[in-house]
Structure formats: structure tokens, C-alpha cells
A and B are shown apart, each in its own frame.
Chain A
Amino acid sequence: MRDIFVLAEHRKGEIRDITFEMLSKGWELAEQAGGTLTAVLLGHNVDEHASKLAEYAKKVLVVDNPLLENFNAELYQQALAHIIKEHKPTLLMMGHTGFGMDLAPALAVQLGLPLATDCIDLCLDGGRLLVTRQMYGGKVNVEAAVRVAETYLVTVRSASFEAKEGVSAGGEIVHVDVPIQEVDYKRFVQYVEPPKGEVDITAADIIVSVGRGIREEKNLPLIEELAKALGGVVACSRPIVDKGWLPKDRQVGSSGKTVRPKLYIAIGISGAFQHVLGMKDSEMIIAINKDPKAPIFSVADYGVVDDLFKVVPELTKKIQEAKGG
């Protein structure tokens, strides 16, 4: 049994949550298999990150290079290819994130190693890797065997594993120098922050959120009236923003906002994990969806399996009555 490696994901000076989720899982896998857990940290001036990661892993491999200051899939790929060839870990985990999706498939092809993406669980069984992932928008779980290889590459879905407190691993911090060649075919330009909108949905106590089930833009007033009756704000799933029906600052989910209101009503939203990531910690969730198998019902506290066009007007009316009387 050799090492389990976790690629630390950090951006603009912060280690991202997915890193700690993977380290928790990595620790567990390493214990089960009798190996050790190593965090791989690529960046520039990242000593603070290294010390933090040392609480979670037995070893922190640091490549400190000005070229790695910002994520660049090409340069990260070079560094990781080098590290994998040198250390031959059993498994390298990275996030199924904007970084991981840009990097992992290219790395796997370059090294001729198998990759399992968007995993929600994984288990090493002897020399084999079994993964669990989802298909069909979360309606089906799939157990898959990964082609046997010296090193397995995996990208992990956010929030699949609980990020546990550091185990005070007292990890050894090892600086390694790997040759990285600047490339002229891909260049980082800048980050662009999302525009600040008029309404801050993250500050709202009550959110009425609408998804593709609303069918047409002209039906949106139905949702606005319910939100108004409840004294809440309107938010939405991604397709509503993609279509331009509501502004980006109303989008809940991994590529939008994370909200934790007292009440979140999800209307005509299927519950894709990218949406759920942004609202699962709401205090109370009510879902209205005509499909009884919609994944949203496994995160909601209360569900209504019916046509939103019948239920929502009734609900608005009843709330108005209750508030009026």
C-alpha cells in the first residue's frame, strides 16, 4: 500500500472546503489500507496553507513557484505529472470543481491513467478502486470499477464527505522542486467577480425559489406573488438565469449563491446537486414538484407532489387570507 494523495484546492488566499472534505476521506482510506495521507500543495507563498494542511495529513508536498500563483491547468498538469511519476501514489484525489474539471481529464490522458470523475464515494479493495457516482441528474447511483492501474485519479463532488476537524497529524512539510515550463498557448488574464445585484438573497429569511418547471417567463409573477405574500425574496435555479428571466444574483447553487434562510420553498426545481449545494443548509425546506422521484424530495423537510400551477396560487391565497385575518 502506497500513499493517498489529495490535491489542495485554494484560490485567492483561501483553502477551499472541498480540500478538507477530501482530506477527511483520504485519512479514512489511508487508515483502512495501512498507507499514509499526503496533501499536495501547488502555489506561491503558501507557507500558511502548508502549516494548516499539516494538521490534516502526514505529509505536505509543497511546490512553491511563482508560475503556480494562479491556477493554470497546463502548469498544474506539469507539476502533478512530475509528482505522480516520482511518488507513484495509489490514488490522487482532486475536487470536481472548476479547477478539477479543467485539469483531471488532461492529466489522466497524458499519463495513461484511469480517471473517475464526480465521485460521491470511493473504496479501495485490494488493489482495485470502486467508485460511486450519479447519473441522470441524481436519479440513479452507479457503482463502477476503475481500470486497474498503478495510480488512480479521482475527482470528488463537493459536500460528499464531511470535513472533520484536523487530527493534529503533525504532518511533515516537504518542499519539492519540480521543473515547470511556462507555456505560451495558455495564459491567465484575471479573475472577474460576479456583479453585485440589487437584492442580496443571502440576507433573506424567506426565499421562494423557482426552477424550470415554471415553463415560461410570463409565469414568473405567480412566484413573485407568493414571495410577496410571505414577505420573502425570489430566487431561482440556474436555467432561469441562463434564459435571462432573472438576474445572476438570484441564482442559488454551486455557481451562484449559498443561502441559509429560515424557509426555502423550491418550486419546479429537480434538485440537481449543484443546486442543492447552495440551499441544503436552509432551516426549513419545502419542495413543490410534480415528479415524486425528483431528488429535491430527499433534501426537503416537506414535499408537495403536484402541479405547481395548481398549488402555488392556492398557497398564495391562503397566506394572504391568514395574514389579512
Chain B
Amino acid sequence: MDIIVCVKHVPDTTEAEVVIREDQRGIKTEDLPYVINEWDEYAIEEAILMKERLGGTVVAVTVGPEEAEATLRRCLAKGADWAMRIWDEGLEEADGFAIAKVLHAAIKDMKYDLILTGTQAGDDGYAVVGVALAELLGIPHAALVKKIELKDGSAVVHRELEGGLEEVVEVRLPAVFTIQTGINEPRYVSIMGIKRARKKELRVVSLSDLGLTVDEVLQSSWLTIKRMYVPPPKKQAVIIQGSPADVAAQIVEILKSKGLM
């Protein structure tokens, strides 16, 4: 099995304060920690598990600036064979479709049986790149995959629908699957892995190497961001203040008054 995994380096904003830039078209990223996109962590794990079982290669590909190499190195340390980073100034503006076009140009002449992406990126949340890439490559896909069983020339996959319902489909390979969290237990990065990763190839490619220009990539974008703002709360919780003991006592009073205790 030769597997390509698309991974994205994203800011982790779960606990950080998000500050919108002056031009209102992005957020300030300088002080944010960056991580591998949560969904991609499961995708790379799934690829490595398959390789460990069946042999073959795993390639990690990202479209991102130099900092994104941290995410590629993480994939190499976990067991990917080599990695590719594609970048050009101007791609900051790329939307999901533009990214899919860049990935398509990079991947179309590579050898693969399977391409894995995350279901969505935690930052933009488009849930577009994987399925759009499949259509550009002219191969089948399944989104929101929670289980993959490989057969000869095809895969039986479980797609997650609402309410925990799963839809089982059989898909001919090569195909693109967008991976949902929980499909496996992503491994930790080992010291040995990090050492081995140093010797692995990390290829850096520009758009012109792929026969593309920034303009033609961006021209086809679906979306142009006009303005970002902090969502006005639909409702604002009453904040209970004080020391933990005070807070606890106030909650007890609230629960009592509502007959919940």
C-alpha cells in the first residue's frame, strides 16, 4: 500500500485568546501555539498502521510555510517515509478549493493506492479539501471515515452520520478518505522516531515546480474573506464570581432555588 496523507499545520486556539488583525481579514497568529490538525493526527496514524501491516510507503504532504515543517517532522517521526512541503507567498489567501488544486498538482503524478486527509481543519473548518481533491483526481472518495477494512482492490469503510449512525460503503481503490477522529489511537512521538526522522527526506516544492502560479490558484478560489469579528453572544451566561468555595456555595443556592437539589 502506497499512501499519501495530507496534513495541515494549524494554530491551537482552544485555550488561547483569539485577536483579530487590524485589517479584519485574519487573526494575529504570532503568539499562538501551532500543532498538527487534530483530524490529520488520526489520518497519519491510520496510514502508518496500514503500512505496518501491509508494507508500502507513507508520504506526508502539506501546503504551508516553513514553520509547517514541524508538522511534517512529526509525521516522519511517527513513521512516514518522506514528506513534501509546497509553498509560495500569496497562498495565505488560499481557500479549501485552492489548496485542493495545489495538492492535486503535487499528487497527480505520484504513485498511490490511497490518499487520506482529515475530515476538516480545526482552523477554517471547511471540510472541503479531501473531497475536492478526489474529484480533481477523478477517483472515488468517502468522507467522515471511522473504520477502514482493506480488501483486494477496494476498501469497506464506515462513514459517520449524525446521532452515531454509520453508513458502510465499499469503495474501489485508489480513493480519498477523509478521516474522522476516534478511528484509532494516535501514537506518541518517540525519541527514536525523532532521531530517525532527521535522516528522512523533506522535499520543498514551489508552485512553479508544479507548473502553477499563485494567481491562477487564487483566481479559482470559492471564497474571499471580507471581515472577521468576534461573534456577538446569543446569550451571555451570568458569571458566578468568587473563590472556588464561594462559587460552589452560590451554585448550591441556585440549584436549591430551582428545585434541583
List the interface of chain A (C-beta within 8 A of B): 11, 16, 70-74, 96-99, 101-102, 104-106, 108-110, 114-118, 130-131, 133-147, 184-194, 206, 212, 230, 238-239, 241-244, 248, 251, 254-258, 262-263, 270, 284-287, 290-291, 293, 295, 297-306, 310-311, 313-315, 317-319, 322-323
Contacts and interface: CB of A to CB of B under 8 A. Distances in A.
Interface in B156-184: 156, 158-172, 175, 178, 181-182
A2 B220 CA distance: 24
Chain B: interface residue count, which band?
A: 35 or more
Given A141-B231, A314-B245, A293 B160 contact: no
B172 A318 contact: no
B27 A136 contact: yes
B252 A98 contact: no
Interface in B26-52: 27
B192 interface: no
Contacts of B96: 105, 117
A272 to B, nearest CB: 9
Given A136-B18, A284-B258, A114 B222 contact: yes
Interface in B193-250: 220-231, 233-240, 244-245, 247-249
Nearest to B227: A143
Contact of A147 (B221, B235, B238, B240): B221
Given A101-B143, A147-B222, A141 B229 contact: yes
A102 B131 contact: yes
Given A118-B127, A144-B224, A315-B248, A134 B231 contact: yes
23 contacts: A74-B140, A101-B178, A102-B142, A105-B128, A106-B131, A108-B132, A114-B223, A143-B226, A188-B167, A188-B169, A230-B255, A255-B160, A255-B164, A286-B254, A297-B237, A297-B239, A298-B231, A302-B237, A302-B251, A314-B244, A314-B248, A315-B244, A315-B247
B13 interface: yes
A258 B165 CA distance: 13
A248 B143 CA distance: 20
A303 B233 CA distance: 13
A223 B227 CA distance: 40
Contacts of B255: 230, 263, 319
B53 interface: no
A284 B220 CA distance: 46
A140 B126 contact: no
A238 B182 contact: yes
A109 B261 contact: no
A98 B244 contact: no
A270 B236 CA distance: 15
Contacts of A323: 261
Contact of B15 (A105, A116, A117, A290): A290
Interface in B115-145: 119, 122-128, 130-132, 134-136, 140-144
B136 A109 contact: yes
Contacts of B161: 11, 97-99, 255
User: Shortest 3 CB-CB distances between A and B: which pairs?
Assistant: A194-B164, A242-B182, A303-B237
Contacts of A145: 223-224, 226
Contact of A134 (B125, B130, B220): B125
Contact of A298 (B175, B224, B233): B233
B27 A116 contact: no
Contacts of A256: 163-164
B22 interface: no
A267 to B, nearest CB: 12
Contacts of B100: 105, 109
Given A189-B156, A262-B258, A315-B248, 7 more contacts: A70-B167, A118-B125, A139-B231, A141-B228, A141-B231, A194-B166, A302-B237
B17 interface: yes
B167 A98 contact: yes
A286 B128 contact: no
Contacts of A110: 135
Contacts of A242: 181-182
A189 B136 CA distance: 26
Contacts of B164: 193-194, 248, 251, 255-257
A311 B244 contact: yes
